[in-house]
Structure 1
Amino acid sequence: MTVRHLSVDYDKVNERGCFSPGDILSGKVTVVTSKETKVQSFLVRAKGKAKVTWHEQEGQTTVVHSNKKKYFYFEHIILQDKKKGDGSEIIGPGRNVYPFSFVIPNVDMPSSFEGKWGKITYSLRAHLTQSIWLVHKTKTEFPFLTKSEFPFASKSEMIIIGLKEQQYATRISFYGSGTVTMNVASEKMGIKQGEAVGVSVEVLNNSTRTVTPKFYLCEKQTFVAESKRRVHANDMFFGTGDSVPAQSSRTTTKVISIPPQLPPTFFNCCMMKLEYRLKVALDVPLLTEPVIKLPLVILLGAPKPHQHKPKRSIWFRKLPG
């Protein structure tokens, strides 16, 4: 095997290390060969796509539901055998570097995302074909960030209006021994990655039981394929408040810090969306917990340097004989 190494790298365009619509995606493909090498084709591709897949058991049959969407696809030919098969294009021995450049379409596309049954990826792939039996491939993904300040705006314009408004909700639960009233309020509906939001719960406990408020951040991922819909929910526990004894009342405030790496809310993908809620539940011994959920929109936070994922470069070693 004369091709010892193949890798594809891209140039950063900003401090965050993310690309957006309209940016120039440039980089280089590096090939290391042990001697002069004939190739049939050598190219690099840039692709943006979304894909959803899950399996369901229907009787004795496993049914696969899938959907995909291509946002863009570009191909840059580095070397191409003009005689279609005789390997007339040559790569010299040693280290060879080939630059490339693409312009990302200036249209609305969702940010990179990886969920339970689907993901949105943007990638570069290099293909070097020596013969029909000998093809070398390598791939690296690059982070992509939508230009839309509100990638959920198409869902409802009222969401934007209410981002800075306080949220309120009330629930009254009836038990044989009395009632428990829970009033919940959050400072605002819109919060950036890495920031914190205060949530207050007022409990009026007119029952004979002691109740304790518990605080959660709820994530909801929705996937759509072949007219089917599947939801993945995940509750992140943030702790408990002070217990409220029987025939008493108490107000507890909890500060919930949004993890900076948590993906922002989005609706601008036709086959998946990501939503969040603030949830407050009352722990009532031996009874169903009363729950209040408030809407929460997580917005993109301040720029942070991107950490590259390990690239899948390929090194080849000579086989014996």
Structure 2
Amino acid sequence: MSHTVKNISVVYNPINQNNTFTSGDFISGQVILDVANDTQMQSLSVKIKGKARVCWSEHYGKTTVVYSDKEKYYSVERFFVREDKTHGNEHEMLRDPSGQPYPSVVAPGRHVYPFTFQLPLQHFPPSLEGSVGKIVYSLKAKLSRSMRISSKAKAEFHYVPSPDVSNPELMAPQYGTKEKQMKLFTSGSVSMNIKTEKMGYNLGEGLKVLAEVQNNSSRAIKPKYCLYEKYSFFARGKRKVHTHDLFKEEGEPIEPNSRKTVTKVLLIPPSLTTSILNCKVLKVEYRLRVYLDVPYASDPEIKFPVVILPLQSLSGANSATNSDFGIWNQPAGGNVYTNPLPMPPSAPPLNVVGQPGQFGAPGYDGPPLSQFPAPGQCAPPSYAGLPGQFVPSASHQSDSSAPPPYLDYQLYPQLPDHPEKS
């Protein structure tokens, strides 16, 4: 920052207690410029953008290879001042509250430039800060002057997509079946039929599991439950995977030569990030693993996808009713941190760069029991993705045989082999 430009900053006004924004919301704020002397500006602008990016390195002997990729959701820039207008459009220029152009020369002191954006109605992945990848939504201010280094400022805002609770695929029940013949130290066989009520769950909600277990073996067995998360990062045809067990629980032993139906309710931790399934370069997924702990033998298991839904936005009063995505001038009154500016009129729609990818999630198609839904009612069709945040430190692996990130790969084949024994 030069001696002439004392400070430049960009701030926005929260619209709810969680300080989050969702599709269609208006985000208002100000670019604040403090200068010590008369200042000639070539341009002064504010930009809103959203993007996802991953980057990591791997070592092969003495060679280090860097893998990186990004996905751009939107990037729109508007100018308060722009001397060179040969490469711009008139709709990119902003005017002061009286409708006049902003002057390119400002006197010493503080100058406030208000703005308002409307977020597009498309569903984008939520904000995320991970170990080798992140999803960032931000506002950026930039001041350009002749023969000077540009002065910049940035403010990130937290984006949370609206939950797609109307998606019937998320509410459809899931079921699976597994049978195993014992060998060596344990004789006989065991089988299980497992059902879950649905695929999509809210934070803090109970996940109900119905298990019917037939133990025809010579030993007592225990049903066990494990919920784990899986983070996948994609770049240049390479995949990096992190997995982490969230919790494990077990049921009562089932004696030899007996049949038992048990119901278990597992609490979804309220601190989890929501699922991210609509991003090209990273994914956040959850799995429920139900298995039988068989002594002296490998454990038969069934896995179900679990989609963690985002919290309902509290910003309904500021949500848009159209698909416009624009910016307007606003008067600068009020506290810039706490008082939202008046809702602006509609503006011409702008192009949004990059549509989120989609992701298929097959369901189970095992034979149902009499109390289970009939076949065809429980195998959910492909699921188009929902979102979440934060990558914990966990065991990781790389998979050079993974498909490039732009392919529409399937959910289950992506899962790394999970240890058989808990």
Report the TM-score when normalising by structure 2: 0.58
The corresponding residue for 2:26 is 24
Distance (whole Å) between structure 2 residues aligned to residue 105 and residue 295 of structure 1: 29
Secondary structure in 2 matching 1:175? coil
- Equivalence map 1:119-134=2 (5 Å): 119-128=134-143
The corresponding residue for 1:171 is 179
Name the CA shift for 1:240/1:232 in 2 (closer, same or farther; >3 Å): same
Report if the CA contact (8 A) 1:281-1:291 is conserved: yes
The corresponding residue for 1:199 is 209
List gaps (5 residues or longer) in structure 2.
85-102, 316-336, 338-422
- Equivalence map 1:1-321=2 (5 Å): 1=3, 3-13=5-15, 17-32=19-34, 41-79=43-81, 90-128=105-143, 135-146=150-161, 149=164, 160-161=168-169, 163-176=171-184, 177-178=186-187, 179-303=189-313
CA-CA distance at 1:28 after TM superposition? 1.0
Post-superposition Cα deviations, 1:266-312, rounded to whole Å, max 9, x if no partner, equal 4332333333221113334454333211232333333468xxxxx9x
Distance (whole Å) between structure 2 residues aligned to residue 279 and residue 103 of structure 1: 42
Post-superposition Cα deviations, 1:189-231, rounded to whole Å, max 9, x if no partner, equal 2222332121133433333444333222232333332223333
List gaps (5 residues or longer) in structure 1.
83-87, 154-159, 306-310, 312-321
Aligned residues: 295
User: Aligned letter for 2:73?
Assistant: Y
Post-superposition Cα deviations, 1:119-159, rounded to whole Å, max 9, x if no partner, equal 222111223456766554332211223457279x8xxxxxx
CA-CA distance at 1:38 after TM superposition? 5.9
User: Aligned letter for 1:175?
Assistant: K
Pairwise CA RMSD: 3.6
Name the CA shift for 1:116/1:248 in 2 (closer, same or farther; >3 Å): farther
Distance (whole Å) between structure 1 residues aligned to residue 179 and residue 311 of structure 2: 33
| More displaced 10-residue stretch of structure 1: 220-229 or 31-40 | 31-40
Distance (whole Å) between structure 2 residues aligned to residue 143 and residue 221 of structure 1: 20
CA-CA distance at 1:47 after TM superposition? 1.0
User: Aligned letter for 2:293?
Assistant: D
Report if the CA contact (8 A) 2:160-2:313 is conserved: no
Distance (whole Å) between structure 2 residues aligned to residue 258 and residue 5 of structure 1: 45
Distance (whole Å) between structure 1 residues aligned to residue 37 and residue 270 of structure 2: 48
Distance (whole Å) between structure 2 residues aligned to residue 171 and residue 294 of structure 1: 17
Name the CA shift for 1:200/1:53 in 2 (closer, same or farther; >3 Å): same
User: Aligned letter for 1:163?
Assistant: M
Distance (whole Å) between structure 2 residues aligned to residue 200 and residue 132 of structure 1: 71
User: Aligned letter for 2:180?
Assistant: I
Secondary structure in 2 matching 1:51? strand
Name the CA shift for 1:242/1:36 in 2 (closer, same or farther; >3 Å): farther
Distance (whole Å) between structure 2 residues aligned to residue 230 and residue 258 of structure 1: 26
- Residue identity over aligned pairs, in percent, reads 40
CA-CA distance at 1:44 after TM superposition? 2.3
Name the CA shift for 1:107/1:205 in 2 (closer, same or farther; >3 Å): closer
User: Aligned letter for 2:245?
Assistant: D
CA-CA distance at 1:71 after TM superposition? 1.6
Secondary structure in 2 matching 1:207? coil
Name the CA shift for 1:119/1:37 in 2 (closer, same or farther; >3 Å): same
